[in-house]
Amino acid sequence: MPAGLNRALLTVAGAAVAVVLAIAICSVAIVVAGGSPFDALAAFFDFGNSARAESNSVATFLNRAVPLFIAGLAVAVGFRMNLFNIGVEGQYRIAAICAAFVGSTFTAPAPIQIGIIILVAAAVGGLYALIPAVMKVTRGVNEVISTIMLNYIAIALSAYLLREPFAGERAEGQLNTTTPPLPESGMFPDLNFVFEWFGMLPPTRNGGLWGFLLVAVALGVVIWVVLERTRFGFTIKASGLNSPAALASGVNPKKMIIAAMVLSGAIAGLIGLPEILGDRGAYTNNFTAGLGFLGIAVALLGRNKPVGIAFAALLFAFLDRAQGALQFADIPASVVTIIQGAIVLLVVVANEVTNRVALRIEERRAAQQLGRNTPVEVAA
């Protein structure tokens, strides 16, 4: 068996075992809480009992996966070179409100309008990530600390922007604060026609299946190409694996830190756009928060690779979707959070175990090819 395939199989098996163990742990929690684990499992697969409910559930599931996937990508770009960008949370919120506001100030044909909104979001996210990057290369400030602090600033700043300078008209008797609405041309077309291909009703949930899904897929492909097939991606990986060696072979570490942080922040800037362009048409105080932190878990689970992150985002979205269904089955929805936490922990453990096992197998294979029958014992 080729070593690469062996390794991939091991990884998948490790992840599967982790998921099953997480479900087992959660089953215990459910039993303790007085519920039935089988009802809970059924709830995860219960997408509703009418064609309309099913379509809405599928759309909800996929719509949730899109921002999680983008968040995972943003975190992974930093992780690839050992940069812990915990600031994705702040970067995407500040980017989302700026993009929503800029998008509401003018009207242009849809491709231009949406293009500018996306560019503004990426630019704001990238610039906000530039701050910790510059602090790190000029003063050696640890990016974990600085990005966490910048998160607080971003959250408070976006709350202020929403109330004062960027506030839009509010309907009589409504207490939600919002930026001015985007023009019609700023709304990303939906993908509801896909449901008809499968003989399903188009979802009625507002916004249906968000068209931004396509942007996310394209982004995933581009990031994969950049990380795996370009010199830039190689230097990122090299700096992450062994920065002194990378330095010795002519990589400028400061330049790489700035490039990786800004790229990570620019991707982070897009996290809020599916929701704004697909559904709300504005940044409101109901804007989904916390995706940046979930992105860290998704990236860990996906092992910092775009395909893995896609699966991780789908898994998290699948679990999140069941929040309502679980409550219909009289099971507390916090079960979802327990499963998600347990999966992330167990996958990290499983990764470590599979790494070691793969190493052993590889050593053994190499030893055999060298004509010796006994493997060389190597301390792990």
Partner 1 sequence: MLGKRFNRMALGSVAGVMLMAAAACGGGDGGGTTASQEPTGASSEAPKDALKVGLAFDVGGRGDKSFNDAAYTGLEKAKTDLGAEIKELSPSADGSNRGDLLRQLADAGYNPIIGVGFAYGEDIKKTAEEYPDIQFAVVDSASNAPNVTGLLFAEEQGSYLAGVAAATKSESGHVGFVGGVESDLIKKFEAGFVAGVKSVKADAKIDITYLTPDGDFSGFKAPDKGKVAAEKMYQDGADIVYHASGDSGLGVFQAAAAAKKKAIGVDSDQRQTVKESDLQSVIMTSMLKRVDVGVFEFVKAFQGGAKGGSNVTYDLKVDGVGLSTTGGEIDDIKDKLDAAKQDIVDGKITVPAKP
* Interface with partner 1 (CB under 8 A): 10, 13, 16-17, 20, 23, 38-39, 41-46, 48-50, 52-53, 56, 60, 64, 155-156, 158-160, 162-163, 171-178, 204-206, 280, 284-291, 320-321, 323-325, 327-329, 333, 336-337, 357, 360-361, 364, 375
Half-sphere exposure of 92 (CA within 13 A, CB side): 31
Between 32 and 248, CB nearer to partner 1? 32
Task: Give whichever of 156 and 222 is closer to partner 1, judged by the CB atom.
Answer: 156
Judged by CB, which is closer to partner 1: 227, or 291?
291
Q: How far is the CB of 308 from partner 1 (least distance, A)?
A: 18
Which among 152, 154, 134 is positioned nearest to 143, based on CA atoms? 134
Give whichever of 263 and 317 is closer to partner 1, judged by the CB atom.
Answer: 317
| 16 versus 222: smaller Cβ distance to partner 1 | 16
Name which of 252 and 323 has its Cβ closer to partner 1.
Answer: 323
> Collapsing DSSP states into helix, strand and coil, what is residue 198?
coil
Q: Do 58 and 208 form a contact (C-beta atoms < 8 A)? A: no
**Structure-token match 């007085």, residue found:** 34
Write down the least CB distance from residue 163 to partner 1, Å: 6
Taking the least distance from each CB to partner 1, the nearer of 111 and 172 is 172
Which stretches within the chain are classed as H helix?
Answer: 3-32, 37-45, 51-80, 88-104, 110-139, 143-163, 193-197, 212-229, 231-241, 243-248, 253-268, 273-275, 291-301, 306-328, 334-369
Residue 161 Cβ vs partner 1, minimum distance, rounded to whole Å = 10
Q: Is 333 helix (H, G, I), strand (E, B) or coil?
A: coil
147 burial via Cβ count (<10 Å: 0-12, 13-18, 19+): buried
Burial of 77-96, coded b for 16+ CB within 10 Å and e otherwise, reads: bbbbbebebbbbbbbbbbbb
111 vs 173 by CB, closer to partner 1: 173
Q: How far is the CB of 2 from partner 1 (least distance, A)?
A: 15
Neighbour-count burial for 50-63, b at 16+ CB within 10 Å, e otherwise: eeeebbbbbbbbbb
Q: Which of 45, 43, 47 is nearest to 201 (CA)?
A: 47
Per-residue DSSP letter, 178: B
Q: Which is nearer to partner 1, 108 or 148 (CB)?
A: 148
Residue 81 · residue 237 · CB < 8 Å: yes
Per-residue buried b or exposed e for 101-136, using 16+ beta carbons within 10 Å of the residue's own CB: bbbbeeeeeeeebbebbbebbbbbbbbbbebbbbbb
Residues 6+ apart with CB under 8 A from 308: 301, 302
Nearest distance in Å: CB 77, partner 1? 23
Q: Name which of 260 and 350 has its Cβ closer to partner 1.
A: 350
Q: How far is the CB of 199 from partner 1 (least distance, A)?
A: 18
CB 248 → partner 1: shortest distance, Å?
A: 35
CB of 321 to partner 1, least distance (A): 8
Cβ 259 to partner 1 shortest distance, Å:
31
- As measured in angstroms, the least distance from the Cβ of 69 to partner 1 is 15
